[in-house]
A and B are shown apart, each in its own frame.
Chain A
Amino acid sequence: MSFIPPIDDFPILAKPVNGKRLAYLDSAASAQKPKAVLDAMTEFATTDYSNVHRGVHHLAARATERYEAARVDVAHFLNAKSSDEIIFTKGGTESLNLVSYAFLSPRISAGDEIVLTKMEHHSNIVPWHFMRERKRAVLKWVDVREDGSVNPPAVAAAITPKTKLVAISHMSNVLGTITPLKEIIQIAHAKGVPVVVDGCQGAVHETVDVQDLDADFYAFTGHKLYGPTGIGVLYGKRAHLKTMRPFQGGGEMIGEVTEDKITYAEPPHRFEAGTPPIIEAVGLAAAIKYLKQFDRAAIKAHELDLYQYARDQVRRLKWVRVIGEAPDKGAILSFETTAMHAHDVATILDGEGVAVRAGHHCAQILMERFNVASTTRASFGLYNTREDVDALIVGLEKARSILV
């Protein structure tokens, strides 16, 4: 294994938790930040900061340059055709809501359908429920297989002439399943249906090429990508963005405002009302730059090695049931523990310095599908090591000894 986890880049990992070495296994919820990101934000805020686009003064020009440069970095990161196709939002959730309000809402009527899978995160469910409530649209749920994988023909079967959108995640935050996106997008496009991708996990663990995928929209968030909170991205094909009305109204998204008439700015600024997350955009660009110094495939191999190492060990524990073993999956290990509730397990793991997520992971429909109330989830980032997994296993044995 050529990849060496750059632990020293992440100051928080050196701080003990509950008197123990921290094993941070909750990166799917939010990743820790490398010093490079924190430093870039401080450097920007202490040298070039101002509001963007409006002022004519020196700092306004510098800040605007940095903010727009971040947009170009994101465009390269996703291999978008143009940085005009990159909208900064406050997170993945806002990105998906933007698609719901500004793209889908004017195009959908009573009885029209939205196709989504049972493994979606609530942020890729609730905006479509809004369309059900407000426009009387119908949600069509595509089941996942028992191993957690997505079956493209099942998606194809769910699409009808009434389907207006397919909403699907690139990678499940619970099962780790990686969706055969390209195939699904081809299927949808063959039937004239656009596809919005929730890439909040996918953008972190997979190399994304929105042109190759031919995705209509691709949403992700900064804080899971080792960047700051408060910033997300929506990629949208230029042809779509041009036709979309604004999402929110305010400063910076206008062309001209008079007493009885208003025109709107061109995309992407049309969709960025108000002062955007400027420092966060610089932080996100720094996170992308930080990731670029590594071979992404090597990071993925490292994370998968940890996942498999962890999975093999928990499998030996007879009282653990792993949920989500799709052939193509990323480094997320969700499991149920016999006679122990996930919250009790997580509390005891915390006492060992092991941070995991326990609960329904904002995926209640998936929990229902697998007939579990909650699971414990260990998720891996580039800074994790086998030592972290060992701490997890020791913690699980301890939970068993205390609780059962």
Chain B
Amino acid sequence: MSDMTDDSLRELYQEVILDHSKHPRHFGPLEHATHNAHGYNPLCGDRITVHLVLGADGRIAHIKFEGRGCAISQASASLMTDMLTGRTAAEAEKLMDGFLHLVKGEEGVTGLGDDDLETLQVMAGVSAFPMRVKCATLAWHTMKSALEGGSRSNEPAKTE
């Protein structure tokens, strides 16, 4: 691991991230959710629940999340709810895969469009902190699990 610098710290905790973590979008329960899933990171004990409504048109109409965690996990969850609303499950899947590549530092292979890549760029700083990648991915793994029918499973989504 390369040395952490003040710059990489400031990039990790940049304004957008802190804003999302302090004022998370779409935080709270969601009535009439069609899909739900629990996520749990056993390393730190952080928990998250993702609720969503998948519309008849195949698009995600609403997403909300609940739980507590570090600034990275909260911001990542908040950003995710912003970005995935209105997308089809297939589009969401593609975006989620792209995000996972991005935070692991595999920027060249995200397969993301320019707009999405630009929006998600704020999370790219996480890749300099290998011990924190799981914080960033928890919500996204949980979202995947929800779309795959996580509501029927008792096993929480993990970051592995």
A residues whose Cβ falls under 8 Å from a Cβ of B: 18-19, 340-344, 347-348, 350-351, 358-360, 364, 367, 373-374, 402-403
Contacts and interface: CB of A to CB of B under 8 A. Distances in A.
Q: Give the interface size bracket for B toward A.
A: 20 to 34
Contacts of B69: 341, 373
A340 B70 CA distance: 7
B70 A18 contact: no
Given A341-B69, A403-B71, A347 B132 contact: yes
**Which of A348, A351, A358, A374: most chain B CB closer than 10 A?**
A351
Given A344-B71, A347-B132, A374-B45, A402 B9 contact: yes
B123 interface: no
Interface of B: 3-6, 9-10, 12-13, 18, 43-46, 68-72, 129, 131-132, 135
Contact of A374 (B6, B44, B129): B44
B5 to A, nearest CB: 7
A373 B45 contact: yes
B69 to A, nearest CB: 7
B133 to A, nearest CB: 12
Contact of A348 (B9, B68, B131, B135): B9
A373 B4 contact: no
27 contacts: A18-B5, A19-B3, A340-B71, A341-B70, A342-B70, A343-B44, A343-B135, A344-B13, A344-B71, A344-B72, A347-B9, A347-B129, A347-B132, A350-B4, A351-B4, A351-B5, A351-B9, A358-B44, A359-B44, A359-B45, A360-B45, A373-B68, A373-B69, A374-B45, A402-B10, A403-B13, A403-B18
A367 B9 contact: no
B125 to A, nearest CB: 11
Contacts of B12: 347
A197 to B, nearest CB: 26
Nearest to B134: A343
Contacts of B71: 340-341, 344, 403
A367 B45 contact: yes
Contacts of A402: 9-10, 13
Contacts of A348: 9, 13
A301 B3 CA distance: 35
B146 to A, nearest CB: 22
